[in-house]
Amino acid sequence: MTTGLIPGEQPPDPRPTSALPQQRHEQDGRGVQHVDNRPRSSVITARAAASFEPVGRSVATARSFVRDTLQGWGFADIVDDAVVLTSELVTNAVVHAGTHAELLCLRTDDGVRIEVADRYPEREIPLQGSPASMGSPDREGGRGLQLCAAIAGRWGVDYTPTHKNVWFHLTLPERPVGTRAAGPSLPADLLPLADGRVRVAVVQIDRTGAISAWNEDAEELFGYPADQVTGKPLTDLAAWPHTPGTSTGIAEALRLSRWEGSYGLRGADGRVTPVYASHLRVRDTHGDPSTVCLLVRDHERAVLQTPSRVPSSDTTSAADGQSTDPFEVFIGSPAPDDLDGLLQRTVERARDMLDGDSAFLLLATDDETELEVRASTGLPSARQRFARVPVEAGPGRYGSARMPAVHEDLLAVPGAVPLLNGTGMRSVVTVPLKVEGRLTGSLGVAAEAPGRYSNEEALRLQFAADRIALAVESARLGELERLRRGSLSFLVEASDLLAGTLDRDQTLALMAQMTVPTLATWCAVYTIADQASDPYLSYVLHEDEELIDGIKSLLSKISPPDPVPTPGARVWSAPGEAAHEAALRSSMRSLGLTGGPSHQISSGIGPTLATASAVGGETVVLPLVARNRVIGMLTLGKPTDEHFRQEILELAEDLSRRAALALDNARLYSERTAISQSLQRSLLPPELPEIDGVEVEVIYRAAGEGNEVGGDFYDVFPISDGAYGFAIGDVCGTGPNAAAVTGLARHALRLLAREGLSGPAVLERLNSAILDEGARSRFLTLLYGELRVQEDGSAELKVVCAGHPLPLRLRQDGTVEAAAEPQPLLGVMDDLELYEQTVTLDPGDVLLCVTDGVTERREGTRMLGDDGLADVLTTCTGLTAGAVAARIMRAVERFASDAPSDDMAILAMRVA
C-alpha cells in the first residue's frame, strides 16, 4: 500500500479530467435521471491516497486508512459513514472484481470527497430511485452503490477505458468555528492522572523510516541522546504489537497520513516503555514526505488521544428530512437476508463503532444454557466457529452472558472470556441480545490494549444490540426452519438408500458417503461382531481420497472408542491427540531432532502433516444401537480446530439410528443367506464319480439371490462293482419343507439302491417315506436309473421316469428321441405301480436329463418346451458331455432376457 498527503493546498489532479466530474444523480417522480454538472466552488485543502492489493485483508486496511485520515483532519463526525461506504466499495473492487483498488481522500472546505477506483470498468451502475436498475439485494455486487445513494450527499460513477471510479461526498455538519471537539467541565478528582511534568517526545522520521529529529523530552523519556539515535530506523526501537486480522505494522503506520495508537519503545536500559503516539505525515520544504511523531507515556494518553465519538441517538435524520430506522443506521442498507451475512456485518459494524481490534457474536441454544460462536472478525474464525461456551460461566454479573460486562484487562482475570484465550486481546465489552426478555445471543468487541472500554461503550454497544436482536432472532428461526426441512429431506433419502440394500459392505459404504461431506469432513465406522468381540475398524472415508489411507493408519494404531450404548454424540479426543503428537514427531524428524512426547503409536511410516491436520479438529462418536445391542460406532471428524454445530449432531444421531437398523438387517440377511447356501450345498453331492468309458457333466443354477434353498437336486453314485446310480429330481416349492424332502430323497436313493433293490422298488419305498412326512410332505418328480458299461463299449441303462421331464437320447446321426416313458410322480398316491425301461447307449450317444426349469423357460407367451430342447440337442452331435451341457445352458439363458425364475439342473452322460 502506498499513501501520500498534501496539506494546505490544491494540487493538480494527475488523473484525466473525466475522472473527477462533479456530477449529481437525481430523479424526478417519473423516474427520469438528471445529471447535475454545475461546477463546485469547493477548494481541496488536503489529499491522501493509497493503493490496495486484491486480497481480503485490504478491506480492513482501507477502513483503518480512511478512519485515521479523517480523524487526523478533525472530521470525527463523518468517520462512521465514510468507513462504511469505503468498506463496501473496496470490497467490491478487491474481492468481487479482483483488481487493485486506488483510494483517494480529498479534504474540502465543506466536507470530504472519497474516490475508489478499480480496473473492472464494465460493471453496470444501479440508478438511484429505480427499483429495476437497483437490482436485488441478494446479488453479489452493487450494494456499495446503493449505500452511497442512501448515505452520501452526492455520489457518482466515472469511467475510463481502464478504470471505474466511484466517488461520494460527505458534508460536514455545522459546528462552532474553531472548535474541533469539546468535553464537559469535570471535578478535579475525575481528571486524568499525569506526572509532575508531562513530557511530550517529538520524533521526526524521514522518508526512509530513519530518525531525523529527537527532542529533549525524548532523551528524558527513553535515555538516548539525539546523536546516538539520529539516522537509526525507528523500527529498531519500537516494540510493535501484533493486530490479528490486519497487516499494519510500524512501517505501514509511518506512511499513513494520520495514525494514533499505542506501542512500546525500548529505552537505553533495555526496558520497553509503553507510549501513546500520534503520527502526522507531512512534507518538508523540499517536498520530501516525513512523519512527525508525538509520544507520551501510555497512562498520559489523554494529552494526545482523540476524544471518543458522541454516541449516536436513537434516530437520525436523512438528507430528505425523514427519520431513518436505527437498525438500518447500524447495519447498513440493504440488510443481508441470510443469517451468516447479517451476523458477519453486525460484528464488523460493532468493531468499527468502538474502534476495536476484533468482535464476535454468539447465539444461544434453545435451552439457553450454552452460546455458540457464529461470527467473528479479527479472530481466528476457523478455530472459533461453532465452538460453545456456557451462558453462566461464574457467579455475579461478570460471569453471566445475560448482563453487560466490561473487562478492562483480561490478564487480571484469566479465562473470564474463554473465546479470547490466546488471542492477545486485553480489554473487552460484551452485551446480551434479548428478545422479549429471553436471551438469544451475546455481542462483544475486544481490543489488544487494556482499559479501552468503559460503561459508555457498553451502553453504545447495548443500544446497537437491542436494535439488531429481533432481526437476528428472526433470521435464526428462518435458518432453523430451512435446516429442519433439509434434514427431513436428507433423512428420507438416507432411509430409501439404506432400505435398498441388504449387503453389509454396501451398507457401510452408504453410511460413510451420506455423512461425508454433508455432515463431517471424515468418517470412520467401527463394527462389533458380538458382545465378546472388540470394535473393528470397518470403513474410513474422507472428502479428499488421498487422505483416507493416512487416517486409516492413524486410527488403526489407537484404541477404538468404548462401545457405550448411551444415545447422543460424545467427544473423542484420542484421534486429535494422536494426530498432534504424530505431526510433532514428523516435524522433529524433518529437523533432525529426536525425542519428543511418547505415545502408544508404534514406529514406522506415520501419518503425514496433512493427515494430522485432517483429524486435528473435533471428533465425535455416535453409538450404532439395534435391537438393544451396540453393533458398532459411527465416528465423525472435522479438520484442525473446527467444531460441529448442534443441529448437525442431532441430524447425525437420527441418521445413526437408521443406519444401525439397516446394518443389523444386512447382518441378519447375510447370516440367513450363508445358512441357506450351506444347506443347499449339503443337498448336492460333493463330487461326481469317474466312470470308465462314460463322460458325466452336471450344471446347476439356483434361482433368486441365494436366500432360499432350492428344490432341484441331482446325484451320481456307485452302487456295486460296475454299476452306478444316477438321479435328477425336483421337489415342489422351496424353503425348509422342500429342503427336508430333497435331503430325504437323495439320501434314501443311495441307501435303498445299495441294498440291491430294483429301480421301481427304490422309488416305491421313497414314495412311502415322503408320504410319512405328513403336512411337510411335497410331491416329487424324479428320474432314476442304473448304468452299467458293457464289454463292447456300450452302456446299458435301466430308467424309471416318475413324473419328470423325459430324458432325451442323442444318436451319432443327429436324431433325438425320448429314452423313457412317463409314469406317476411321487408323494401323491400310496400305491404306485412303477416299471423300469432298458436303454442301450452306443459309443458316441448322449443321454440328456433336465429339470422343468429348463423346459419351462419363458419369454412372454413363448416357452422352450420339450421340442425346443430337442432342437437344441440335435446341434450337439460330436460334442463332449461338458460341451453338450454348456450349449444347452447357453441356449436356455439366451431364450429369454429376464433372469431365471426357477432352479435349473442339467445332467449329460456320453458314452466315449
Instruction: Report whether pLDDT(798) > 90.
Output: yes
Peptide bond just before 7 cis, omega within 30 deg: no
Find residue 264's DSSP bridge partners.
239, 274
- Position 711 scores a pLDDT of 75
Higher local confidence (pLDDT), 589 or 633: 633
Q: For position 8, what pLDDT does the model report?
A: 41
Average pLDDT on 104-129 reads 75
pLDDT of amino acid 5: 42
Flag the least confident range among 139-153, 378-392, 506-520, 861-875.
139-153
pLDDT confidence band for 641 (50 / 70 / 90): low
Per-residue model confidence as pLDDT tens digits over 32-62: 333 444 444 568 888 888 888 888 778 878 8
Q: pLDDT tens digits, residue range 278-314?
A: 998 888 778 888 999 999 998 888 888 876 544 444 4
What percent of the chain has a predicted confidence (pLDDT) above 70? 83
Q: What is the pLDDT of residues 164-197, one digit of tens each?
A: 889 999 988 765 555 555 566 777 777 777 777 8
**What is the average pLDDT value for the chain, to the nearest integer?**
81
Residues belonging to the chain:
912
Q: Give the 3-state secondary structure of 227-272.
A: HHHCCCEHHHCEECCCCCCCCCCHHHHHHCCEEEEEEEEECCCCCE
pLDDT at 629 over 90: no
HSE, side-chain direction, 13 A CA sphere, residue 712: 21
pLDDT tops 80 at residue 768: yes
**Ramachandran angles phi, psi of 225, nearest 5°:** -70, 160
Residue 885 has pLDDT above 60, yes or no: yes
Which pLDDT band holds residue 402 (cuts at 50, 70, 90)?
Answer: confident
- For the entire predicted model, the pTM comes to 0.47
Task: Name the residue with higher pLDDT: 253 or 806.
Answer: 806
Which residues make Cβ contacts (< 8 Å) with residue 384, sequence separation at least 6? 360, 373, 376, 419
The pLDDT of residue 329: 58
Residue 607 has pLDDT above 80, yes or no: no
pLDDT of residue 492: 86
The CA angle 716-719-720, to the nearest 5 degrees, is 140
pLDDT interval class at 323 (50, 70, 90) = very low
Cα dist from 697 to 112, 747, 813, 902, whole Å? 101, 21, 22, 20
Task: State which H helix or E strand residue 637 sits in.
Answer: strand 629-637
- Please tell me whether residue 137 adopts helix, strand or coil conformation: coil
Q: Which residue has the higher pLDDT, 139 or 17?
A: 139
C-alpha 196/C-alpha 308 separation (Å) is 26
* pLDDT value for 497: 86
Q: Is the pLDDT of residue 818 over 90?
A: yes
Report the SS3 class of residue 21: coil
Q: What is residue 808's predicted lDDT score, i.e. its pLDDT?
A: 95
Pairing of strands 24-27, 33-36: antiparallel
pLDDT at 316 over 50: no
